[in-house]
Amino acid sequence: MERRLSFFIGASDNLKTLNLSFLGYKIIGGSDQRELIQYLHKINMGSNLLQELKSDINYIQGATLEDIHGIVPINFRDVKDPNKKELKLLVQILRVIFDFDFSLALEPILIKNGTHYDLNVCIIGSRQYNFFEKNSIRVSNWDNSKFKGVSIFLKKKWAFLNKKQSEYIRFSIENYIVSLNTEYASFKFLSLCSALEGFINQAPEISFRLKRTISILVGKSPNEAQIIYLLLDDVYKLRSKITHGNRVDTGKIESYLPQLREITRRAIFEVIVFEIPSNEKLGEKINSLGFGDWKKIGNNKCSSKFYTEKSEILKSLFNGKSL
């Protein structure tokens, strides 16, 4: 039997207000290191695991031990479902929601050996991560209603996210996470393109259908959809140059990353909120719609502020301002 924990760096203590009890997990640590240390000693992993955490934060610019938080079972020896895929998806969807507000540092796997657990530490996150990045979404600026909204969103949508038909969403989420973990701009760029391509189910005219699908899915008005379409048109011209081995200035690639990343996040949110069961069904819906027909995609009752409020990146894009 194994138990899996996830520790991440860079989030504010407000993140601990998330209610993950429906999965049997909670978030500990941060400014109250006593809770974290007590928990580690409770599972007989205090000194070993704490040393691993201290070692890892040395690679993270500006981080201290107080920036460490952990997603851990509420009851370590009787967690509802210690499925490693479930915890992986939970961490991934939290990283999509909060974007750059935290970086996954390490994921210890504790394997039962008789009466105790042996420690097997798996490093996952990007060690070049700087959580003071300019465009990060700072959880510390969120009010409690946003955290409550995230908790409700996760609880309501968890069963849908785990359905077999939702595999295309999980594929897009995984590619989005790859873009966060790599330090190379071209890899970030191509990973985000792959994430968007997960929403398309057929190869013919994939570029055109992708641009149209994402524009209708994310753009709330004809103008917003048109702006997204034109941006993605430029993105896919650049993608073609990169994949065909043409030399592309890194600065040009980086200039597209904030908008491309935010559009990808929004697309992931939309298919989850609308509970579109497959990319085939998404294609069928989009085929009958035009720019500005976002409301016709399906029944959308999500009113959580983390979802309804536009990010500064999208506001700047739609208003024609540079970041």
What tokens were used for 237? 């011209």
Highest mean pLDDT among 172-181, 194-203, 232-241: 232-241
Of the ranges 24-28, 51-55, 302-306, which one carries the lowest mean pLDDT score?
A: 51-55
In the predicted structure, residue 86 carries a pLDDT above the cut 50: yes
> Mind giving me the DSSP string for 189-229?
HHHHHHHHHTT----TTHHHHHHHHHHHHH-SSHHHHHHHH
What region does 182 belong to: left with phi over 0, alpha with psi -120 to 50, or beta?
beta
In the predicted structure, residue 199 carries a pLDDT above the cut 60: yes
- Cβ–Cβ < 8 Å for 302, 272: no
Task: Check residue 161 and give its pLDDT.
Answer: 93
Q: How sure is the predictor about 238, in pLDDT bands with cuts at 50, 70 and 90? A: very high
Alpha helices in the chain (DSSP H): 33-42, 46-57, 84-98, 144-161, 167-181, 185-197, 206-218, 222-243, 250-273, 279-287, 305-308, 312-318
Whole-number Å distance between alpha carbons of 300 and 153: 12
Is residue 33 classed as helix, strand or coil in its secondary structure? helix
In the predicted structure, residue 204 carries a pLDDT above the cut 60: yes
Long-range pairs, 143-148, Cβ under 8 A, ≥24? 144/14, 144/17, 145/305, 146/304, 146/305, 146/306, 147/14, 147/15, 147/17, 147/18, 148/17, 148/19
Of the ranges 82-96, 115-129, 253-267, 271-285, which one carries the lowest mean pLDDT score?
A: 115-129
pLDDT tens figures, 138-162: 455 667 778 888 899 999 999 999 9
The residue count of the chain comes to 323
The average pLDDT across 35-64 equals: 68
What tokens were used for 162? 């785990």
In the predicted structure, residue 29 carries a pLDDT above the cut 90: no
Q: Is pLDDT larger for residue 95 or for residue 321?
A: 95
In the predicted structure, residue 77 carries a pLDDT above the cut 90: no
Task: Check residue 100 and give its pLDDT.
Answer: 57
Of the ranges 11-15, 22-26, 62-66, 229-233, which one carries the lowest mean pLDDT score?
A: 62-66
The average pLDDT across 233-247 equals: 93
